[in-house]
Amino acid sequence: MSLFPVGLYHFLILAAVLFVLGLFTMLTRKNAIAVLMGIELILNAANINFVAFTRYGGVNLGGQMTAIFVIVMAACEAAVALAIVLNLYRRSQTVSVVDANKLRD
């Protein structure tokens, strides 16, 4: 019996905090790279949820399998996103999402 038993709820709270932090990052940061970091936080919050649910009371490995797929998808998305940001930087010498706003009503 450990002094501080870690259970499902600890993981869920951690995931929820990560999710909110990621959301906050995405909505407030102006640097496109920082916004992309926010995306990683959100995806990893979901991953922690999946893995924790499988570990505590899961009947199959569906959650862990999904988490692996999410990791792969996050890598794909990051690769494409960085390429797009790099391309934007070459065009207009900025990675700020506020400056890249010429298309508007």
Interface positions with another protein (CB under 8 A): 12, 15, 19, 22-23, 26, 32, 35-36, 38-39, 42-43, 45-47, 49-50, 52-53, 57-60, 62-63, 65-66, 69-70, 73, 76-77, 80-81, 84-85, 87-88, 91-92, 97, 100-105
Type of residue at 26:
M
- 31: phi then psi, degrees, rounded to nearest 5: -80, 125
Of 74, 50, 73, 44, the residue nearest 63 (C-alpha): 50
Query: Which residue's CB is nearer to another protein, number 3 or number 105?
Result: 105
In which residue are the tokens 């700020």 written?
96
We find the least distance from the C-beta atom of residue 10 to another protein, in angstroms, to be 14
